[in-house]
Amino acid sequence: MKYLSITFLTIVFASIFWTSCDKIEEPYFKPVYTERITLSELVADASNIDESNYNDFINTCSAYNNTLTMLILSGNTDIAGNSSEANSIVSMLSINTQDSLAMFDRKTVNGLYGVQKSFWNDALNNASSQQTIFNLSIDGSLNQSTQTFAGEVEVRCTNGYQTETKLTLYVVRDSVVCNNIVCNNVLTEAHELANFSEFRREQSETVDLNIDLSEYNNLDLISMIVVLTNNSNYEILQASEQFVSGITFTRTQNVLIEDFTGHLCGSCPRAHEEITRLHDLYGHQLIPMAIHYDPSGYFTSVTADYPDDFRTEIANEIGSSMGVQFNPIGYVNRIGSYSDKTIDFPFWENKFLELKNKEAKAGVVIDAIRNSNLLSASVYVKAFEQLDTLVKIQGFILEDGIISKQTDYNAYPTDIEDYEHNHVLRASINGLWGEDLTEVPFAQNSIVQKEFNFTLDQNKWNVENLTLIIIIYNDLTREIIQVESVKL
């Protein structure tokens, strides 16, 4: 009996101890929050969408970095851009489509899902400032032969969540003309992927994707938006987006520095050293281009001692039109007056720093393939805000690692026999000033695709050392809106 009592007491005290541990353990699990991506939805009647409301909605959303947009057009399903899925959402949330109401993570305002325009900014600010404990990621790719998007969606919860949730995928399309308005991110399909009864702390769930997209003509205009919603009140807990083609645009502002140089210019190696230093320091955000142009013609001339010819027609065109009077000198994103954009090389870094932290007005993605001496490139450009002047696009071929002679006044002897010339402009792939990117205006969130084919001169260039640079620029001012580069 004595032993039984001791055993009984041991069990009781152990039970009390573990129960106490359970009770005090929970407060030490501090919530771990992740970056919230807000889904902003404009709901309108497809037959009567108001252009002013649409533009105001896009402008409101563009002021927030972590916001996705989706246009829900309800009504007659025969109208372009409309879908039965849009009608289902409108019916489920009891929204009046005649007023062009918006939703921000489907949070209610005064008990209603639809928010009037005068409250859009406040509602979006409130939604985007909320924290979330969910991560969503899409990892998939397009099978070109079957026109299916296959992959998986991962949901991860950093803390426990006891409410039922639903994972839904929306297929959205850009450049839909509805009521004479070019609309983007228009909902066309919805796929319910999974339901979850609850999430434990640090629980992850993976859901397979296999979406048939064979009915769409241009898959470059299609993207997937995945949302996790609270089943009880429809509130969106987290969102994520991926373009079907795998394209991801960034608002990082890249900067092109055009260095006007010449192999007989003895001061030019100082500018070469500076641009190398800047490129090493700032990486891909600073894109250098060496343009062999001298207005007098002497520094770039070909002689018996300097037989290599770096001169090109495109170099002469760029140099002579925007103010180059001597070497070394440069342009930084072609900022400046129309006729004189030159900046001395000691000031390149200051100008670069002025530009690097600005949000880009457009994004550029290059998908390039080199097959021997044949270049094929698909270039995608997205407007992050409406551009109201003509935008042009131009491509350049640059070569690195050219070992050739260079004059250097700081060297002795001043003729350096094995000087390495890098990022040397060799050619333009589409004319002296490129070509029009699209019609005016270039609407916000619109995506334009351009295809380029170009034969590389393997008799003059080492095709293993080539880079393709794409610039888009304002035709009125010639200032560069965005620049991107890729090794070939």
Looking at the domain assignment, is residue 27 inside a domain? no
In a domain, 12, yes or no: no
At residue 253, the pLDDT reads 94
d(CA 105, CA 130): 10
Of 208, 243, 278, the residue that ends a domain is 243
pLDDT digits (tens, 9 = 90+) for 76-95: 655 555 567 788 888 888 88
Percentage of the residues of the chain whose pLDDT score is greater than 70 = 91
pLDDT at 157 > cutoff 90: yes
Q: Are 124 and 220 contained in the same domain?
A: yes
Angle between helices 120-128 and 51-62 (to 10 degrees): 30
Residue finishing a domain among 213, 243, 273: 243
Read off the tokens for 121: 């900014």
Tell whether 264 and 232 lie within a shared domain: no
Range of the domain at 363: 255-487
Residue 133 lies in a domain: yes
> What residues contact residue 125 under an 8 Å CB cut-off, 6+ apart?
64
Any idea what the CATH number is for the domain that residue 136 is in? 2.60.40.10
The DSSP output letter for 387 is B
Mean pLDDT along residues 113-126: 91
Structural domain contains residue 178: yes
Please check whether residues 304 and 379 belong to one and the same domain: yes
Domain membership flag for residue 435: yes
Residue 16 has pLDDT above 60, yes or no: no
**Rounded CA separation 436/295 (Å):** 28
Is 138 in the same domain as 263? no
Segment 308-324 mean pLDDT: 91
Please give the pLDDT value at position 31. 64
Burial class (CB within 10 angstroms; exposed 0-12, middle 13-18, buried 19+) of 255:
buried
**Residue 93 to residue 315: CA distance in whole angstroms:** 60
* CB-based contact 136:239 (threshold 8 Å): yes
pTM tops 0.85: no
136: left (phi over 0), alpha (psi -120 to 50) or beta: beta
Average per-residue pLDDT for the chain = 87
Kindly report, residue by residue over 414-460, the tens digit of the pLDDT.
999 999 999 999 999 999 999 999 888 888 877 888 888 899 999 99
Question: Which pLDDT does position 304 carry in this prediction?
Answer: 94
If asked whether residues 45 and 146 sit together in one domain, one would say yes
Q: Do residue 468 and residue 326 come from a single domain?
A: yes
The answer to the question of residue 31 being in a domain is: no
Domain count, the chain: 2
- For residues 437 and 99, which has the higher predicted lDDT (pLDDT)? 437
Task: Name the more confident of 316 and 181.
Answer: 316
Residues 6+ apart with CB under 8 A from 110: none
Helix, strand, coil % in the chain, rounded to nearest 5: 20, 40, 35
Q: 11: pLDDT confidence band, cut at 50, 70 and 90?
A: very low
Q: Is the pLDDT of residue 270 over 80?
A: yes
58, 125: one domain: yes
Between 88 and 269, where is the model more confident?
269
Task: Note whether 233 and 259 are same-domain residues.
Answer: no
